[in-house]
Chains A and B, each alone.
Chain A
């Protein structure tokens, strides 16, 4: 049985990091559509893949969050990426396999993966 005890240790470790993080400005946001259409098209594993990739690379100031249906159901799973100071980028028909490339090229290096975007799909 796994218990919650370990969580206390994580807290201790994180408190120090929190102080460092406060000075950084602007969060990059990764937003995944989790309405009926998105979920049915496979958005859950995509969302999990982003969460894991962000953790694996120890990215600070990057949040992964959820939103509802944005009205383009046939293109789900849809992922929007907001980098402060840059235009929003919308990816469509995202698969978990594409996630590491989006994180590496777009989130880390600042170059959107154009071939996965809505613009290039349509």
Chain B
């Protein structure tokens, strides 16, 4: 995975598989001297995991999939965080959901770029229209969010995955992302 946003797209598939009704993704970036971190928090209200599964899920040889015996999504993400002076934590409770936190040191030379996060968020939000997806991105003191419930309220009977609606959301995301970093 060349971008953190690709890891995120991958990890969200776990929440979808867990039949989550709501997924919250929060990205926080701080780039000052006292706080030099890039933090990814992914929370879902899916089926969760047993204590035993939580312990073993960071192993590449554990997966719920039946088509093959390896599961690389979580191990790859964890290794990436830890290789960049950060940390990884996963908490889960059966029937309640899962909370996943990955931290990178922002200025670490090996930290992958966040990448095309707008594209990732767009695909999650419009590809799973029955799931409420709440995305928040903070860069130092700037922040914006996207909540698919709010979009649906405005759209009424028009589906979230209508091509024209998708293009609007894409514009919205690209615009706001670039403003976060002080662009336009």
Contact = CB atoms under 8 A, between A and B. Distances in A.
Interface in A71-109: 71, 73
Contacts, number: 98
Contacts of A35: 10, 13, 73
B165 interface: yes
Given A4-B151, A11-B155, A66-B123, A39 B9 contact: yes
Given A1-B176, A51-B166, A55-B167, A36 B161 contact: no
A45 B9 CA distance: 12
A111 interface: no
Contact of B163 (A2, A4, A39, A51): A51
Contacts of A34: 9-10, 13, 123, 127
B165 A10 contact: yes
A69 B176 contact: no
B164 interface: yes
> Which of B9, B67, B119, B163 has the most chain A CB atoms inside 10 A of its CB?
B163
A14 B65 contact: no
A116 to B, nearest CB: 22
A68 B15 CA distance: 12
Interface string B70-89: 01110010000000000000
Interface in B132-162: 144, 150-151, 154-158, 161-162
B76 A36 contact: yes
B179 interface: yes
Contacts of A4: 150-151, 154, 172
Interface string B81-111: 0000000000000000000000000000000
Contacts of A52: 167
A7 B155 contact: yes
A15 interface: yes
B68 A11 contact: no
Contacts of B176: 1-2
Given A10-B165, A15-B157, A63-B161, 4 more contacts: A1-B176, A14-B162, A36-B71, A71-B68
Counting from the closest, the 3 A-B pairs by CB-CB distance are A71-B67, A55-B163, A2-B175
8 contacts: A2-B171, A4-B151, A11-B154, A14-B158, A34-B10, A44-B119, A66-B123, A69-B67
